[in-house]
Chains A and B, each alone.
Chain A
Amino acid sequence: MIALGADEIAKYPFLADAGQYLKDKGFTLEQFGTDPDLKQLVEKAFNRIEVAANGKIYQSDLIGDQASNQASLPREVFSFLLAIVLLKLSGMTTLIKRFALAEARRAEKYLEKDLANISDESKKQLAIRIINDLFSIQVKKQNDFFVISVSDYLTHSINFHEREWKLINRHVENGLVFLSPHETVRLIRKELGTYINSKITNAKTPPMFTSFEEPVNKLVTLSKKFSTNFVTSGEYPPCIKHAIETLEKGENLPHSGRFMLATFLLSKNQSIEQISPLFKNAPDYNERVTLYQLNHLAGTSGSGTHYSCPSCEKLKTQNLCFIIPECDNIINPLQFGKRLDARK
């Protein structure tokens, strides 16, 4: 575990051992749950969750990375720890996810500042250590950049859909990727969120105390706001339409295009018997091979792996994307025509 100073725990409260922290400060959870004088902190914790649930980043009492006053530091940490208590008691996973993501983004800001800190080398080293220890990425400083290995970069960037994150759009040299402090930290946002999320999920659910009842009930109501219903237009995206048209014309659709079409239709719950006739016009059609391959993609034969439809990004690089305005920034053809239910 990384040794942290008081202001660092306030910036990165998820690194603290919650039970130990309370003990060190001379508090028990029961006090927070019953003592009216501490109610204010429980409210602060609720507020921290509410802000996160609305997709915003909690504005702490830290000014820059200094505490506004000495007393605010423990309050920062308490409100984080109490927020976890309230979330555990509410049992609302949607809220936990939103809270973890917002807290990750909050920490991201501090990490970025610490990484870019020119005057205080120790702050920079701490940020580098957090990234190294928590996410096993070896970050090194090289001139004005932070460098990480190409393999580490790929493992983390693979989930980003923006083209700027593709390796081709990065400065790559000698097995290393060159990044700004902002990009270095952005790269681990998801993992930071996952880390905080797993810390909350794995925490033991504490007993309920009187002061927690009201905010917990409010959280349950709050989480209902975030349950969503989707409706689908049922229309096929242009890439799929194009693939079907190519086959109908008896023209050759490359292997990658057939893979896209088959995985798309399988995901839309079409059966292999419904899909296979589509390939009948292909110049090299062979019924036995087609059925074998479709079964393989569906996971009903072979390794049992169910293959999913490639992302729009992948289809772009395979020249299979025929984007139209209705695509509306989707990242996978399966999302085409999916809209939030307006009737809600």
Chain B
Amino acid sequence: MQENNIKFLEDSFKKYYFEHFDLIHVPDRTSEREFGFQKFNSGMTRHISIKDDKELHLLLMKNIPSDVYCSNGYYSFPNLPMNEKDWKEADLIFDIDAKDLNLECRENHTVSRCNECNEISTQKNFCAKCNSTKLEQKSLPCKNCIDSSKHEVFKLSKILTEDLGVQPNDIHVYFSGNEGFHVHVYNSQFQKLGSRERSELTDYIMFKGAVPETFGMKKFNTNRSSFPNFEEKGWRGRFSKEVYESKSKRSKIISELIVNGYSSFQRTLEGVSNRIGIKIDPNVTMDIHRIFRLPGSLNSKSGLTKIFCKDLTKFDPYSDASFLHENSIEIIADCPLKFKLKNKTFGPYFGEKVSVPTYAAVYMMCKKLATLGL
């Protein structure tokens, strides 16, 4: 990114940080956490330890980071190299991202940006201008993306509370600042679990690795009464609702499943997994040393804030997570998609000079769909 663009983004981010210290707090047990940050056009600085809000605010003012992170893990010595930190435990974390939901709407609001010649187009495989295959997908998530991600969060919360015994108060949902939600679970029985155990937990949540026998189907001598009932708890109950659809169809569907046989049942399970398994990013949940985006900080992929969702149903990221100021700025926008921020609609723009509020300019620049020009 060009110098003047970086300076503009840094100025906008700095202003946000300065004016919104109220939104940016260190998490509990601060001194046991590892912090890290990135600057525009620069690598990651991590293994930082911070005492309190004041130190964090100072770090933000001094470095004007593009992204700020904090560990889900707790350590005796968070500022030492990884193998000397002395890991104690870690909060359970989840990342739900609209891009992983295989949504049909995606195609309508995704463009490609060529890394060689900066051409923006709807071509997926190669650049229409220079034929390069080095394309970067840029998506401006729509309402359907956000609603579908919310739906996954609700499903996840249900499994966490009903199956895994997590207290509802210990589940904190945040908008990630870009295309989805981050779920933090505190004080659960899973705090001390290692990576392999957490990976097993992700398979449970994603409905992966289920065998037909768990749902009553055997290779030989299948017994009708072993099939799940509608009222059952856990995955057997959810399987019933998904596969039988209604109580009255249960008997008929079981007969069909038995007639179709064991390997057909395995395929049924795969289908069920794709449809009702929770679409979390397993790599995030199994990572016990991750530094995860800090609540209240800005996401440099959008300029939106990672923010706590008090009421997820009503939450609208495009008005509730956009905090940058209104001052107009002139940019060259190459954003062929329409988008809405703070109840105002912008675009489409086709390589044209436009004057837009800072929050909209930053949004497009972070998506690499606009520049300040020379």
Q: CB within 8 Å of B: which of A284-324?
A: 302-305, 313-314, 316-317
Q: Which of A15-23, A49-57, A172-180 contacts B (4 or more CB under 8 A)?
A: A172-180
Task: Out of A151, A304, A316, A317, name the residue touching B197 (CB < 8 Å).
Answer: A151
Question: Closest residue of chain A to B237, judged by CB?
Answer: A173
Task: Out of A154, A171, A304, name the residue touching B83 (CB < 8 Å).
Answer: A304
Contact present for B165 and A166 (CB under 8 Å): no
Question: Closest residue of chain B to A304, judged by CB?
Answer: B83
Distance (whole angstroms) from the CB of B202 to the closest CB of chain A = 9
In the bound complex, CA of A185 to CA of B165 (Å): 23
Contact present for A150 and B196 (CB under 8 Å): no
B24 sits at the interface (CB 8 A): no
Distance (whole angstroms) from the CB of B194 to the closest CB of chain A = 8
Q: CB within 8 Å of B: which of A4-30?
A: none
A164 in contact with B213 given A155-B193, A174-B165 (CB within 8 Å): yes
Contact present for A313 and B209 (CB under 8 Å): yes
Contact present for B209 and A151 (CB under 8 Å): no
Contact present for A173 and B200 (CB under 8 Å): no
- Type the 1/0 row for B351-374, where 1 means its CB is closer than 8 Å to any CB of A: 000000000000000000000000
Distance (whole angstroms) from the CB of B278 to the closest CB of chain A = 12
Distance (whole angstroms) from the CB of B147 to the closest CB of chain A = 27
Contact present for B83 and A303 (CB under 8 Å): yes
Contact present for A154 and B209 (CB under 8 Å): no
Question: Closest residue of chain B to A171, judged by CB?
Answer: B234
Question: Closest residue of chain B to A259, judged by CB?
Answer: B283
Contact present for B203 and A168 (CB under 8 Å): yes
In the bound complex, CA of A318 to CA of B81 (Å): 30
Q: CB within 8 Å of A: which of B59-85?
A: 81-83
In the bound complex, CA of A171 to CA of B233 (Å): 8
- Type the 1/0 row for B245-257, where 1 means its CB is closer than 8 Å to any CB of A: 0000000000000
Contact present for A166 and B209 (CB under 8 Å): yes
Contact present for B165 and A316 (CB under 8 Å): no
In the bound complex, CA of A158 to CA of B197 (Å): 6
Distance (whole angstroms) from the CB of B20 to the closest CB of chain A = 35
B103 sits at the interface (CB 8 A): no
Contact present for A169 and B201 (CB under 8 Å): no
Task: Out of A163, A171, A175, name the residue touching B165 (CB < 8 Å).
Answer: A175
Contact present for A303 and B81 (CB under 8 Å): yes
In the bound complex, CA of A305 to CA of B289 (Å): 13
How many chain B residues sit at the interface, stated as a range, is: 20 to 34
Q: CB within 8 Å of B: which of A61-108?
A: none
Distance (whole angstroms) from the CB of B199 to the closest CB of chain A = 7
A149 sits at the interface (CB 8 A): yes
Q: Which residues of chain A are within 8 angstroms of B190 by Cβ–Cβ distance?
A: 150-151
A203 sits at the interface (CB 8 A): no
A206 sits at the interface (CB 8 A): no
Contact present for B81 and A317 (CB under 8 Å): no
Contact present for A169 and B166 (CB under 8 Å): no
A283 sits at the interface (CB 8 A): yes
The A/B interface has a contact count, at CB < 8 Å, of 84
In the bound complex, CA of A166 to CA of B234 (Å): 14
A150 in contact with B189 given A168-B209, A169-B210, A173-B234 (CB within 8 Å): yes
A167 sits at the interface (CB 8 A): yes
Contact present for B193 and A151 (CB under 8 Å): yes
In the bound complex, CA of A316 to CA of B83 (Å): 30
In the bound complex, CA of A168 to CA of B165 (Å): 15
Q: Which residues of chain A are within 8 angstroms of B208 by Cβ–Cβ distance?
A: 168, 317
In the bound complex, CA of A266 to CA of B170 (Å): 41
Q: Which residues of chain B are within 8 angstroms of A149 by Cβ–Cβ distance?
A: 165, 189
B144 sits at the interface (CB 8 A): no
A317 in contact with B209 given A150-B164, A169-B214, A173-B162 (CB within 8 Å): yes
In the bound complex, CA of A157 to CA of B193 (Å): 13
In the bound complex, CA of A151 to CA of B373 (Å): 55
B163 sits at the interface (CB 8 A): yes
In the bound complex, CA of A167 to CA of B206 (Å): 11
In the bound complex, CA of A305 to CA of B197 (Å): 18
A172 in contact with B133 given A163-B211, A167-B203 (CB within 8 Å): no
Contact present for A158 and B165 (CB under 8 Å): no
A168 in contact with B204 given A151-B190, A304-B83 (CB within 8 Å): yes
Question: Closest residue of chain A to B133, judged by CB?
Answer: A283
In the bound complex, CA of A197 to CA of B203 (Å): 33
B339 sits at the interface (CB 8 A): no
Sample of 8 further A-B pairs with CB below 8 A, known A166-B203, A166-B210 = A151-B189, A151-B197, A158-B200, A163-B211, A164-B211, A169-B209, A172-B164, A305-B83
A–B pairs, 27, beta carbons within 8 Å: A149-B165, A149-B189, A150-B165, A151-B189, A151-B193, A154-B201, A155-B193, A164-B213, A166-B200, A166-B204, A168-B207, A168-B208, A168-B209, A168-B210, A168-B214, A171-B234, A173-B162, A173-B233, A174-B162, A174-B165, A175-B163, A255-B283, A283-B133, A302-B82, A303-B81, A304-B83, A313-B209
